[in-house]
Structure 1
Amino acid sequence: MEPVWGKVRDRVRVRLGTAMARSGITLPWWVPLGTTTFALVALVVAIGQRGGTPAGVLVAAFLLAQNSALLWLLTGRIVRTWQKSLAVLAGVGLLLAYPVVPDFAPIPLAVLTAEVAAIASAGLAFAVTAAGVALLAAAWMTVGLVGFPVYTLAVLLGLCAGFMLRWYVRALDAERGKQDAVREQAMLSERQRIAREVHDVVAHSLSITLLHVTGARHGLRTDRDVDEAVEALTEAERVGRAAMADVRRTVGLLSRESAGTRPLPGAGDIGDLVADTKAAGLDTHYELEGEVSAVDAVAGLGLYRIVQESLANVVKHAPAATASVRLRIGAGHARLTIRNGLSGETGPGGGSGLAGMAARAEQLGAVLHAGPAGPDWVVDVTVPVSHGAAS
């Protein structure tokens, strides 16, 4: 029984949701279903109360009051709000011409005002409410409708309930829009972070690999030293494989699967990075002052990537220059300085490398300066660290 009911519910939800979307109604699908059902029950009871009323009047009242539901069942479309309002007012008016005590006929009017206030303009909502109250007043003055003040209060309560539902739906939509915007911004930030990681890894690794390949070509062309060429190519292969592993680990962050157990590099790995660059043929020197343990993992990764990008820029723009890397860790901050001679070059320019370094520095709350300083190109960044760092 449950699967059958579930299939019926899903079909009703899909069909009703499609019709509501076509009509521009943003309410949840179960709201119009519930109000229509409630109005239908009240209408059936009101018709049952009028045993001596002509059958033609009762049938006409039912068709008018339920015109929107009948049209949806037959065509899958929802009638316009003002058309439904006129039909319901006419149907209820036919029933009020034959009043009973107590009378359920005014209840569909209260439901109507709530629906109109929730989905239509405020002007139409007030107009339908006024028409409903006028209809009740006419029945009270002409055929002696009992309970006119109570029914009028019900119609006004329906108006208030509709406006409250409208406000709730708008607030809910705004909150959902805000959450979607926050989610999209978080995804964009994560993609940008991963893009910077991939850029740094690939740029540096390709630079080092090209230095080794250049050394192998030079050795074969000038000295015919096969052993030296093989050693250079072997080192280039090692750097390339390490780069591929770094790229796989970084890109693995895009999926839910494990990206491996190898830790990301930090401040303690800067020395190895400089050594690899020097082994590839770039004249590079490294100086460390202080304890690298004072630099946390996030700041350490940022400093490592800045050194990586800076050395890649040196290889690209001034391969014959001498580069120096100095990391000084003091109480409360770590200062990283990368300096290289311009050798007639104009410097790294305004590519994605400098933009990536600036973005990393901003995330770390660091101060970054990058540009020419006399005959050298200098990258200087100061990062806050734990206050317990010893100089």
Structure 2
Amino acid sequence: MIQPRRFDLVAAFVLGVPVFLLSVVVAVLSVPGTRAVVLVAACLVAHVAFVFRRDLRGFAVIGAAMGVQAAVTGLFMVLPTVVLFPLALFSCTAYGRPYPPLVLGVAGAGLAAARFATDESVAAARLGPNPWLLLGLLLAVVAAAWGFGLYRRTQLGYLALLKERAAMAATQATLAERARIAREMHDVVAHALAVIVAQARGGRLVPGRAPEVLATVEETGRQALTEMRGLVGVLRAEPDELAPQPGLADLPGLLDRTRAAGLTVALTTSGTARRIGPGAELALYRVVQEALTNTLKHGGAGAASSIGLSWTPSALEVTVTDDGRGRAATTAPGHGLAGMRERMAAVGGTVHAGAAGERGERGFAVKVRLPYQEGVA
């Protein structure tokens, strides 16, 4: 894309060469002698200043050059260089300060009309038009150039606003992606470490199960590393290189790894399954994973968990309960429950977590409700 200053230079050269040469010819033929030299010099200054027409100082120089032409002869309107004035007024209004060009333009139109009206050669030759008509014409030219300049200025402001909004949207998208990856990393690492800790505890209490415990630890660690590589790969992979994210079909594998950690887990399903979208499936998978992780960490020895998927006519309801230490889990520090709510809120669902029993002495329950979205079949 051509730079503004380079464009101004090219435009001044392309427009300036033929117009300046024509103005020289007209000046020499119309006003011979020293005044022709002054007119040619004023035209040359105006064409050089036209390169800097976006700046108020460049526009002022062009206006001064037009004033010199008006002072030298009342017939200044016949010089083609005068076309630079409305063009410079437009550029200065659009890219510089909007109101000073209008003031200079109105003042220049008044002075030009007055000079034309008081020119003896014009009066002697009885050349028209009427000075008031000329003033109206010049003011109309100034108003048109200024109005187009304001319109272009508004366009540029709107484009700048769009670019700013696009930059803000990109920043927000980056922050949202970072938050999403942070939640994914939390779920993956927390679940893997909970399984590993549970296995290590079991291996210490039952030394004879050491090979089985180490195999489970190895498999859990390998699975966690695979998921972490997938998350990091999202940051640099091409769209067609991205591996699919886990969903409801991957719940059996998650339950197998959880059972290997020593937690008894049962899964029940009711109703007719339907598609809910990959984003919603990933969110539900992570919520179940986080709930099982909390049970492993806070449920205590001998705790068992059950997962229920109920496909109702209006929503998918998922319930994860355990018979562990109950309220102890609700007071445990961390961001697990907050992450669950954020995940489900992003896909239009809700999460309620609390004691499983009426008295809340033992057991903890996480209840998720995800209404079906229109257009997802």
State the TM-score, normalizing by the size of structure 2: 0.80
Rounded to whole Å, the distance in 1 between the matches of 2:77 and 2:41 is 22
Task: Specify the SS of the correspondent of 1:179.
Answer: helix
Rounded to whole Å, the distance in 1 between the matches of 2:60 and 2:275 is 77
Q: After superposition, where does 1:74-153 map in structure 2 within 5 Å?
A: 81=56, 83-96=57-70, 97-98=72-73, 99=75, 102-143=78-119, 144=122, 148=134, 150-153=137-140
Give deviations 1:316-375, integer Å, cap 9, x for gaps: 233423322222222232211112322672536463322221111112211211233512
Q: Tell me, yes or no, if the aligned pair for 1:249 and 1:259 is still in contact at 8 Å.
A: no
Rounded to whole Å, the distance in 1 between the matches of 2:334 and 2:177 is 20
Query: Which residue in 1 is equivalent to 2:26?
Result: 49
Q: Tell me, yes or no, if the aligned pair for 2:258 and 2:265 is still in contact at 8 Å.
A: yes
Rounded to whole Å, the distance in 1 between the matches of 2:114 and 2:373 is 81
Runs of 4+ in 1 over 6 A off after TM superposition: none
Rounded to whole Å, the distance in 2 between the matches of 1:279 and 1:217 is 15
Q: Tell me, yes or no, if the aligned pair for 1:317 and 1:347 is still in contact at 8 Å.
A: no
Where do 5+ consecutive residues of structure 2 fail to align?
Answer: none
Rounded to whole Å, the distance in 2 between the matches of 1:56 and 1:386 is 80
Give deviations 1:164-216, integer Å, cap 9, x for gaps: 11111111111222222233333333333233222212221221122222222
Rounded to whole Å, the distance in 1 between the matches of 2:373 and 2:85 is 69
Where do 5+ consecutive residues of structure 1 fail to align?
Answer: 1-8, 17-28, 73-77
The alignment status of 1:365 with 2:348, answered yes or no, reads yes
Task: Specify the SS of the correspondent of 1:281.
Answer: coil
Query: Which residue in 2 is equivalent to 1:182?
Result: 169
AA at the equivalent of 2:306: S
AA at the equivalent of 2:159: L
Give deviations 1:55-104, integer Å, cap 9, x for gaps: 6413541454245467x7xxxxx9951x3343222211222323267332
Rounded to whole Å, the distance in 2 between the matches of 1:45 and 1:91 is 17
Task: Specify the SS of the correspondent of 2:79.
Answer: coil
Query: Which residue in 2 is equivalent to 1:383?
Result: 370
Rounded to whole Å, the distance in 2 between the matches of 1:151 and 1:37 is 25
Task: Specify the SS of the correspondent of 1:365.
Answer: coil
Compute the displacement of 1:315 (Å): 2.0
Q: Which of 300, 316, 334 is 1:334 aligned to?
A: 316
Q: How many residues are paired up?
A: 351
The change in CA–CA distance for 1:297 and 1:322 in structure 2 (over 3 A counts) is same
Task: Specify the SS of the correspondent of 1:345.
Answer: helix
AA at the equivalent of 1:175: L
Rounded to whole Å, the distance in 2 between the matches of 1:386 and 1:103 is 71
State the TM-score, normalizing by the size of structure 1: 0.78
Instruction: Report the RMSD for the aligned CA atoms in angstroms.
Output: 3.2
- The percentage of counterpart residues that share the same residue type is 28
Query: Which residue in 2 is equivalent to 1:26?
Result: none
The alignment status of 1:323 with 2:305, answered yes or no, reads yes
Rounded to whole Å, the distance in 2 between the matches of 1:135 and 1:150 is 13
